[in-house]
Amino acid sequence: MEFFMKKASTAELDAFYPVREECRVEVPKTRFRLRAGKTLSARRWHAAFSEDGHLDIASVLRRIQRGGIHPAIKGVVWEFLLGCFDPSSTFDERNDLRQQRREMYVRLKAECNKMVPVIGSGKFITTPLVTDDGDPIDGAPNGARHDVSDKKVIQWKLFLHQIGLDVVRTDRTLVFYESETNQAKLWEILSVYAWMDNDIGYVQGMNDICSPIVILIENHADAFWCFERAMRKLRENFRCTSTSMGVQSQLATLSQVIRTIDPKLHQHLEELDGGEYLFAFRMLMVLFRREFSFVDSLYLWEIGFS
C-alpha cells in the first residue's frame, strides 16, 4: 500500500471518482495529493485496531490531519469521524449495532414505500405527487391513501419531487451519477430522512452533504445512518425562518475574522454592499462542496470532522 501511495501521490486523484469526459473543463483542478507516510493508508488503518476492535482514534486523527485518508478506506473511516461508531466499541458491538440500524432503516423505508411505492424501487421522481392541499395528482405514483389533514404526510410528499430535481443536479460531472440506480440511491436516502426528521424535513443543499456519503458507502442503510450523523452536526445550517438563516452566526463570525485579518478587504466588501457576507451563504451551508473539486472538498471535511 505504501508503494502504491508513492505512485498515486503524483497521479490525478480524480481517477478514484471519475469525471465525465464532457465535464472536465468545468471541474476545478484537484490540489490534494496522497502523501506517503502521512496519508492514512489501509495498512495504518487496520493496524490502529486492537485484537477485539478498539480503535486508537487519536493516532488515526493525527494521521488524517497530516495527510487525509486514502480513497480505498474513506467510507469506513468516515463512519467513525461522523460518530456512527464509538472508537472504544468492539468489532462484535459494532456488528450488532450495524445490524440494528439496517433493520431500522428497512422499517423506515417500508413506511415510506407504503405511501409512495417508488421508494426503494431503484427509480425516483421529479414531478409533484400531490397539490399543496394534499390532493393526489392524476397519474402520480401515490401509494396508500392518506388523510388530507395529515400535514406531515402532505409536506413529505411535497418534498419528494424537489429532492428529485436536486438529485439530477447533484455532482452531475461525476460518472457515478450517470447511473439512474445511483441517483435513485441518493433520492431514497434523502426522502427517507425527510420522513424521519419532521423538524427539518428537506432543504436544498442537503443533497450536497449526502452525495459524498452515498458515493463512499455502498450499503443504503449504512449510508443513511452516516448521513443522519452528519446532519446532527450540520442541521442548524438548514434551519431557516422568516427572521433568521441557518448560517447567520457563521456569516457574522466570517465577517469578524475578515475585519480583523484583512481590514482593507472587509472595507472593500462593505463598499460593494457585501459587508453582511451573504455571498458566502452557500459556501458555509454546504461546506464548500461547490467551490472545490470533489476530492478537495472531501479532504476539507476530513480535517474539519477530525
pLDDT tens per residue across span 69-93: 999 999 999 999 999 999 999 999 9
Report the share of the chain in percent with pLDDT over 70: 91
Residues 95-124 have a mean pLDDT of 97
Tell me: pLDDT of 240 over 80. Answer: no
pTM surpassing 0.85?
Answer: yes
- Give the pLDDT of residue 5: 43
Closest to 159 measured CA to CA, from 120, 116, 121, 106: 116
Helices then strands, counting H and E runs in the chain, come out as 13, 0
Tell me: pLDDT of 243 over 60. Answer: no
What is residue 292's DSSP assignment?
A: S
Please check whether residue 125 is in contact with residue 160, taking contact to mean a CB–CB distance below 8 angstroms: yes
- Distances in Å between the Cα of 278 and the Cα atoms of 87, 269, 274 are 38, 11, 7
Tell me: pLDDT of 32 over 90. Answer: no
> Hey, what domains does the chain have and what are their CATH numbers?
2-81 (no CATH), 102-234 (1.10.8.270)
CA distance 46 to 175: 30
* Residue-wise pLDDT tens digits, 212-224: 999 999 999 999 9
Per-residue pLDDT band for 2 (boundaries 50, 70, 90) equals very low
Please check whether residue 85 is in contact with residue 74, taking contact to mean a CB–CB distance below 8 angstroms: no
Per-residue pLDDT band for 271 (boundaries 50, 70, 90) equals confident
3-state secondary structure of 129: coil
Identify the bridge partners of residue 136 per DSSP, sorted by sequence position: 130
Q: Which three cell numbers stand for residue 162?
A: 424537489
